[in-house]
């Protein structure tokens, strides 16, 4: 439960009107150790650690979100998401500034085009709070402002010239930190593109700054349907009356809400905590959508859990929570591999006639397959064979390709060496030195 802000000396003179003004909240974000010490207990050791971290990374905590922190608990799950620690200054094996290769897949600044039919559009690097687990910590808060008009225009021009793009995801930073007029201008230009079918907005403001979600903002967003909003609740303590009101304003405008959590050590890596969270989300009409394995960005190893813990959590939800409340656990593969769903195994075995399955309690059942079923997609379905979106494993299932082979495989490298001109060209025996392997997997 939030502390009354009037009980905190830093804000004792703040009026209710100021407190409920999202612009006041943005102007008065906690950004220094001295300010933080006036809100929660910070030991001398922790203060030194925070100062050291702030020499590398920004801190910003909205006054509202700060009232959710237990002032005397250094292990508070809200505090861990908001307050810097010394662990953020150290790098561990496998970590990098851009582990998901968003910049590698960027055709123009602010835009990532990885999947054929959608783009990620980073319209600002500003947030109401700089989450300590942010995967874009290399980018978030650099200017604490919006992208330039020129960069916005170039990104929209790319989308206009790329008919395959059906889905545009606005993110950042947090796109809802833009003014209503600025955001409406971007949305109207996107909606004017005929091949853009849906627009999604990724935001954490209903969680960290619910005052931003006003009737005017919700009404403006609804002008650009179909529009979807994905929010970011990580812990049941964040499901406050203020957050519920913010989500309700959006829902009443017909905007579907999904939640994207990040699995964080010491915050929500507990089956009971996650069960409480997804049940609470359903009560405020927010559908649990994804739970992400924490990305290996620089300085985040202290937040990461095993992938097995994520699978265990999904196992604990299935059968105990409505199917609406069971999110997909995904690993956003380093190197730009995209989101890979990972979950419990329910298929135990199969023959050509029977599939053996288990349920969440361990009940095992055999399902008999129909003898006369003939798969049209594998036997002459021209829609499938001509489908331009059919790639990889889909082509194998349709009988269009027998194998998928890495370009780094020894076999492929050896074959390439045999094709090289020179005295060994065309010989049936292998060359004396194998062909050097590429240093990085080629991207499709």
The model's pLDDT over 380-397, given as tens digits with 9 standing for 90+, comes to 677 776 777 777 777 777
Dist. CA 136–CA 97, nearest whole Å: 8
The CATH code of domain 111-341 reads: 3.20.20.70
**Set 105, 115, 401, 412: catalytic member:** 115
Distance of CA 422 to the CA centre of its chain: 50
Dist. CA 365–CA 362, nearest whole Å: 10
Domain residues of the chain, as ranges? 5-86, 111-341
- Burial (CB count within 10 angstroms: exposed 0-12, middle 13-18, buried 19+), residue 309: middle
- Whether the pLDDT of residue 442 is over 50: the answer is no
Q: How far is CA 224 from CA 3, 179, 189, in A?
A: 37, 16, 10
Q: Are 168 and 159 in contact (CB under 8 A)?
A: yes
Distance of CA 401 to the CA centre of its chain: 32
Dist. CA 349–CA 358, nearest whole Å: 10
- Whether the pLDDT of residue 30 is over 70: the answer is yes
- Whether the pLDDT of residue 325 is over 60: the answer is yes
Determine the pLDDT at residue 443: 38
Verify whether residue 332 is a known catalytic residue. yes
Verify whether residue 381 is a known catalytic residue. no
Q: Indicate the pLDDT class of residue 108, thresholds 50, 70 and 90.
A: very high
Verify whether residue 339 is a known catalytic residue. yes
Verify whether residue 419 is a known catalytic residue. no
Verify whether residue 290 is a known catalytic residue. no
Q: Tokens for 376?
A: 């049209």
Determine the pLDDT at residue 414: 53
Determine the pLDDT at residue 98: 83
443 Cβ neighbours under 8 A, 6+ residues apart: 101, 104, 105, 336
Dist. CA 165–CA 240, nearest whole Å: 37
Verify whether residue 309 is a known catalytic residue. no
**pTM given for the model:** 0.87
Q: Are 257 and 229 in contact (CB under 8 A)?
A: yes
């909205």: which residue's tokens? 62
Determine the pLDDT at residue 97: 81
- Burial (CB count within 10 angstroms: exposed 0-12, middle 13-18, buried 19+), residue 154: middle
Q: Are 231 and 286 in contact (CB under 8 A)?
A: yes
Dist. CA 293–CA 99, nearest whole Å: 13
Verify whether residue 433 is a known catalytic residue. no
Dist. CA 58–CA 171, nearest whole Å: 19
Verify whether residue 384 is a known catalytic residue. no
**Set 98, 125, 131, 290: catalytic member:** 131
Report pLDDT digits (tens) over 155-202.
999 999 999 999 999 999 999 999 999 999 999 999 999 999 999 999
Determine the pLDDT at residue 390: 73
């Amino acid at each position: 439960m939030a502390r009354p802000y009037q009980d905190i000396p830093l804000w004792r003179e703040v009026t209710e009107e100021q407190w409920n003004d999202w612009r006041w909240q943005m102007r008065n974000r906690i950004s220094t150790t001295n300010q933080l010490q006036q809100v929660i207990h910070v030991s001398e050791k922790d203060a030194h650690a925070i100062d050291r971290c702030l020499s590398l990374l920004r801190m910003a905590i909205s006054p509202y979100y700060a009232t959710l922190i237990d002032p005397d608990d250094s292990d508070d799950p809200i505090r861990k998401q908001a307050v810097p620690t010394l662990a953020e200054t150290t790098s561990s094996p496998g970590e990098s500034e851009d582990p998901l290769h968003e910049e590698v897949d960027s055709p123009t600044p602010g835009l990532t085009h990885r999947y054929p039919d959608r783009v990620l559009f980073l319209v600002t690097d500003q947030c109401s709070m700089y989450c300590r687990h942010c995967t874009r910590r290399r980018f978030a808060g650099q200017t604490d402002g919006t992208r330039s008009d020129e960069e916005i225009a170039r990104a929209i021009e790319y989308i206009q010239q790329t008919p395959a793009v059906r889905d545009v995801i606005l993110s950042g930073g947090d796109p809802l930190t833009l003014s209503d007029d600025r955001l409406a201008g971007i949305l109207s230009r996107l909606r004017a593109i005929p091949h853009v079918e849906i627009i999604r907005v990724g935001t954490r403001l209903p969680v960290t700054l619910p005052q931003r979600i006003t009737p005017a903002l919700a009404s403006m967003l609804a002008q650009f349907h179909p529009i979807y909003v994905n929010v970011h609740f990580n812990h049941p303590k964040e499901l406050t009356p203020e957050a519920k009101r913010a989500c309700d304003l959006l829902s009443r405008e017909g905007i579907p809400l999904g939640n994207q959590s990040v699995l964080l050590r010491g915050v929500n890596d507990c089956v009971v905590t996650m069960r409480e969270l997804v049940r609470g989300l359903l009560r405020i009409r927010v559908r649990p959508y994804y739970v992400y394995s924490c990305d290996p960005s620089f300085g985040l190893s202290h937040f990461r859990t095993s992938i097995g813990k994520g699978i265990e959590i999904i196992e604990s939800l299935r059968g105990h929570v409505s199917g609406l409340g069971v999110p997909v656990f995904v690993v956003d593969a380093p190197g730009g591999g995209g989101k890979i769903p990972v979950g419990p195994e329910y298929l135990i075995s199969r023959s050509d006639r029977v599939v053996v399955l288990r349920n969440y309690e361990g009940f095992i059942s055999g399902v008999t397959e129909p003898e006369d079923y003939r798969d049209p997609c594998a036997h002459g379905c021209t829609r499938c064979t001509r489908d331009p979106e059919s790639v990889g494993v889909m082509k194998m299932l349709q009988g269009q390709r027998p194998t998928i082979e890495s370009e780094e495989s020894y076999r492929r490298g050896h074959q390439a060496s045999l094709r090289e001109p020179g005295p060994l060209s065309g010989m049936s025996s292998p060359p004396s030195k194998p062909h050097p392997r590429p240093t990085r997997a080629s991207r499709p």
